[in-house]
Amino acid sequence: MSESSLYLNRITKVFRSPQGDVHALRDVQLVIDPGEFLTVIGPSGCGKSTLLKIIAGLDTDYDGEVRLGERTLSKPGTDRGFVFQEHRLFPWLNVEQNIAANLSLKDPKVKKQVQELIDLVRLNGFERAYPRELSGGMSQRVAIARALLRNPEVLLLDEPFGALDAFTRAHLQEVIRDIWLTKRTTMILVTHDIDEAIVLAGRVVVMTSRPGRLHKVIPVPMPHPRNRASSVFQEVRSLLLEELEPTLHDKQKPRYANREVLPSG
Ligand SMILES: Nc1ncnc2c1ncn2[C@@H]1O[C@H](COP(=O)(O)OP(=O)(O)OP(=O)(O)O)[C@@H](O)[C@H]1O
Ligand SMILES: [Mg+2]
């Protein structure tokens, strides 16, 4: 269970290059409660990944401040875990070795924790399997377990299911929801899939681009598990589509995974 709020204080990021400056983020301001599940949606290039990297401490060249409780975050730390779109597993290590990363499985405490994480992501029986023997969804579950090993307060997920088929994706949404319900880790998940944003989030953040800004924060007042056919779900979806509509006219076209729910024309 996370205990600290995450504060994003006027985050501004400009990429400078000889071809010109790219204003990736401007004055991003938000407080994320301990144990909250936030999803972030917005057109391609609006700064979602840049924002996650700044929170992770992977990019420190920005204006503003990221704070976890009383602590200003200025470099990567075990208090934050990161899951990328591609799993980034080490091909020469098996499942449990990948999850343990640079901790020793000879340490009974590490071994026990790795086994608990394997249970959590439902990979029992695959402890000794190598990445080449796993499906995309299984590999991504290993990546999630690895990110959780040091019990981070905040888990950052950058389109973690973007490369998966719809069925596997729906299954992994359930896995991540159950992990959140069990551990109450603060989660921030970036997605292009409108339904995914709604099915998981306590609040959905809609971003706009050039410069990347927080456009709207939309609460999802629904208990879990969520019924996608319910009227509340449909209402939130309509609201989100309304807020996303102006972003469709951005110079760079968005790429939503869930194209069928976008307005036609
Ligand atoms: N290393 C970099 N150097 C220069 N510009 C960059 C760099 N990384 C990102 N950008 C620019 O910053 C802006 C935000 O990029 P970012 O990757 O955060 O967008 P995104 O919202 O994650 O997009 P997508 O949905 O396609 O993943 C874009 O205009 C991008 O071109
Ligand atoms: Mg991105």
| Residues 39-74: tens digit of each pLDDT | 999 999 999 999 999 999 999 999 999 999 999 999
Share of the chain above pLDDT 70, in %: 93
Residue ranges with CB less than 5 Å from ion ligand 2: 49
The pLDDT mean for the chain works out to 92
209 lines ligand 1 (CB under 6 A): no
pTM of the full structure: 0.92
Candidate of 11, 15, 39, 52 to mutate for ligand 1, largest count of ligand atoms within 8 Å of Cβ? 15
CA separation for the pair 67, 29 (Å, rounded): 12
Candidate of 39, 50, 62 to mutate for ligand 1, largest count of ligand atoms within 8 Å of Cβ? 50
Interstrand relation of 213-219 and 203-208 (parallel, antiparallel or unpaired):
antiparallel
Distance of CA 234 from the midpoint of ligand 2 (Å): 26
For residue 177, list its beta bridge partners.
Answer: none
Q: How many helices (H) and strands (E) does the chain have?
A: 7, 10
Which parts of the chain have pLDDT scores under 70? 248-265
10 Å CB burial of residue 21 (0-12, 13-18, 19+) is exposed
Distance of CA 251 from the midpoint of ligand 1 (Å): 14
Q: Do residues 194 and 261 touch, judged by C-beta distance below 8 A?
A: yes
Task: Calculate the alpha carbon distances from 100 to 134, 149, 150, 205 in Å.
Answer: 17, 7, 9, 33
So what's the pLDDT on residue 258?
A: 42
* pLDDT tens readout for residues 106-117: 999 999 999 999
30 lines ligand 1 (CB under 6 A): no
Nearest ligand 1 atom, CA 210: 29
Nearest ligand 1 atom, CA 192: 25
- Per DSSP (E only), the strands in 147-248 are 154-158, 186-190, 203-208, 213-219
45 lines ligand 1 (CB under 6 A): yes
* pLDDT tens readout for residues 132-159: 999 999 999 999 999 999 999 999 999 9
Task: Please give the DSSP secondary-structure letter assigned to residue 253.
Answer: P
